Amino acid sequence: QQQVKQSPQSLIVQKGGISIINCAYENTAFDYFPWYQQFPGKGPALLIAIRPDVSEKKEGRFTISFNKSAKQFSLHIMDSQPGDSATYFCAASGNTPLVFGKGTRLSVIA
């Protein structure tokens, strides 16, 4: 049973556009929601994370929006750049090891 459902599987965005990736979860015990970025041949790297006491967190061009009642959260990448082309994973935990979504492969084209 997949605990974190991520969509879309892949995404193509024009340079300068906004990339949006969505995640949904079922377990209400989850209280930590990070996004990881992974380049080919590398391990995932923490990008940004949020806890359910806030509805939005912004770090540079990256924003997490969190909707506790809908049990959904999303990653927005503003002014997307070719260097952002990577696979993005949402994840969740609640005093348990992180569980990851299946990933979104983002391609930013010039």
Partner 1 sequence: DTGVSQDPRHKITKRGQNVTFRCDPISEHNRLYWYRQTLGQGPEFLTYFQNEAQLEKSRLLSDRFSAERPKGSFSTLEIQRTEQGDSAMYLCASSLARQGEKLFFGSGTQLSVL
Among 84, 103, 106, 108, which residue interacts with partner 1 (rule: CB under 8 A)?
A: 103
- Shortest Å distance, C-beta 49 to partner 1: 7
- Shortest Å distance, C-beta 51 to partner 1: 10
Instruction: Report residue 42 as tokens.
Output: 């590398």
- Mask: binding to partner 1, 42-81, rule CB under 8 A, as x and -? xxxxx--x--------------------------------
- Shortest Å distance, C-beta 36 to partner 1: 8
Find residue 4's DSSP bridge partners: 25
- CA-based R_g, the chain, Å: 13
Burial readout 39-56 (b: 16 or more C-beta within 10 A, e: otherwise)? eeeeebeebbebebeeee
